[in-house]
Amino acid sequence: MRHLRIFVAVADELHFSRAADRLGMAQPPLSQAVRRLEKDLGAALFDRSHRQVRLTAAGMVLLDEARELLAREKRLRTLARRAGDGGLGTLRAGVPPDTTVSTLSALLSACARHSPGLSVDLQEITTEEQLRLLASGGLDVGLVHQPVDATELSLGPEVCAELGVVLPRTSPLARLPEVALAELSGHDLVLFPRAQAPGWYDRILDSCRAEGFVPGRVRHAANPEFLLALVHAGHGIAFDQGPVARKEPRVVWRPLAGRPLARRTTGAWPSGRSAHPAAPHFAELAAGVLARDRPAAPHREAGPRPPDGPPRPWSVVYEERS
């Protein structure tokens, strides 16, 4: 490519000295490079028999091809840089099954704005499966629920989401503005399967025990709709950020007193030089989306707790976003 660049400069200037000045080099090595190119091609590219340098027929044919080759090389370098910066190619990204539709939509839109040339292959995968795929090279980046073993991982910004309790609307506890974990004593608990995120699963049960709530039985529900159905049927209570409970009018969501449960989510990708260059950017974008999509602060009623009596239907749990 260097010889072609020199050839094009001489062809543009039709003067060896001016071409050398344009390229910032001495004339002798420039002339040697042209002669070497002519020898390699087996054809004279310049007519030097007159006082003015002219292109030969072979030189005129080569000039168009050389310009195209040099332009193509420039495009290849640009593409390689963009791919190296994570702006091109495919990013295999994992998200937890409990990720909401609005979060997924916002995340994909943010990725499209940040890296239009990058294709994001978004996959719904549990935290435990994401860790396995990250270790085996089957995934480039994931959003995992902490705590996890991050020995061979790089972690992005962490986003915390406070959890409340989902109760049957007919539960006496539904009348309270907030519920202490100890007040859930005697209830069963509906929880995601431990295999999805063992660290987070154990943290929830440890926190419950520490606050005086030991579930009589732990039932498992991987599907949010099934979880709501179990709660509505009186088979237990559940913990959630709030949006899931809004889907079902026969259950209510209440904040937990003291905010003892906070789900921590972070982007994770393999450490080392093999990491996808777009992984850190994805983790930052995801953290921003998750932080924006957190539910509005719950409405807290003033004054003492209401006396026992029938629950009021359709009680207000959230304040609307302004």
Does 302 map to a domain? no
Are both 153 and 287 inside the same structural domain?
yes
Position 84 pLDDT exceeds 70 = no
Is residue 149 assigned to a domain? yes
Residue 257: pLDDT over 90:
yes
**Residues 2, 7, 13, 15: is their CA dihedral positive or negative?**
positive
Examine residue 319 and state whether it is found in any structural domain, yes or no: no
* Residues 247, 175 share a domain: yes
Last residue of a domain, one of 84, 119, 139: 84
Regarding whether 104 and 248 lie in a shared domain, the answer is no
Same domain, 282 and 259: no
Rounded CA gap, 212 and 188, in Å?
14
Measured between alpha carbons, how far is 7 from 63 in angstroms, rounded to an integer?
8
Residue 116 falls inside a structural domain: yes
CA distances to 141, 149, 277, 278, 291 from 281, rounded to whole Å, are 10, 22, 8, 5, 15
Q: Is residue 42 part of a domain?
A: yes
Amino acid 295: pLDDT:
63
Question: Residue 29 maps to which CATH number?
Answer: 1.10.10.10
Residue 299 pLDDT grade (very low, low, confident, very high; cuts 50, 70, 90): very low
3-state DSSP of 138-192: CCCEEEEECCCCCCCEEEEEEEEEECEEEEECCCHHHHCCCECHHHHCCCCEEEC
Q: Which of 322, 319, 314 is nearest to 296 (CA)?
A: 319
Pair 259, 270 in one domain: no
Last residue of a domain, one of 84, 108, 130: 84
Sequence-ordered list of residues with C-beta below 8 angstroms from that of 119, at least 6 positions apart, any chain = 89, 90, 91
Q: Based on the fold, state whether residues 199 and 229 are members of the same structural domain.
A: yes
137 and 279 fall within a common domain: yes
β-partners of residue 91 are 120
H/E stretch holding 240: strand 237-240
Predicted TM-score of the model (pTM): 0.67
Residue 252's domain is classified under what CATH number?
Answer: 3.40.190.290
Model confidence pLDDT, tens digit, residues 44-72: 999 888 778 899 999 999 998 898 888 88
Which pair of tokens denotes residue 142?
């994931």
Give residue 274's domain range.
Answer: 89-159+266-292
129: how many CB neighbours lie within 10 A of its CB? Answer: 20
The stretch 227-255 carries a mean pLDDT of: 90
117-126 in b/e form (b: 16+ CB < 10 A) is ebebebeebb
- How confident is the model at residue 106, as a pLDDT? 92
**Domain count across the chain:** 3
Task: Determine the residue type at 62.
Answer: L
Both 144 and 279 in one domain: the answer is: yes
Do 129 and 184 share a domain, yes or no? no
Domain membership flag for residue 189: yes
Look at residue 253 and tell me whether its pLDDT is greater than 90: yes
Structure confidence by residue, pLDDT tens digits, 171-218: 999 999 999 999 999 999 999 999 999 999 999 999 999 999 999 999
What's the half-sphere exposure (Cβ side, CA atoms, 13 Å) at 281?
Answer: 18
Residues 278 and 140 in one domain: yes
Residue 320 lies in a domain: no
322 pLDDT above the threshold of 90: no
Q: Which residues contact 1 (CB under 8 A, 6 or more apart)?
A: 69, 70, 73
Q: Are 273 and 154 members of one domain?
A: yes
What distance, in Å, lies between the first and last C-alpha atoms of the chain?
A: 60
What CATH number corresponds to the domain at position 125? 3.40.190.10
- Among the listed ranges 49-58, 151-160, 225-234, 296-305, which one has the minimum average pLDDT value? 296-305
Which of 38, 60, 84 is the C-terminal boundary of a domain?
84
114 part of a folded domain: yes
Residue 32 has pLDDT above 90, yes or no: yes
pLDDT surpasses 70 at 314? no
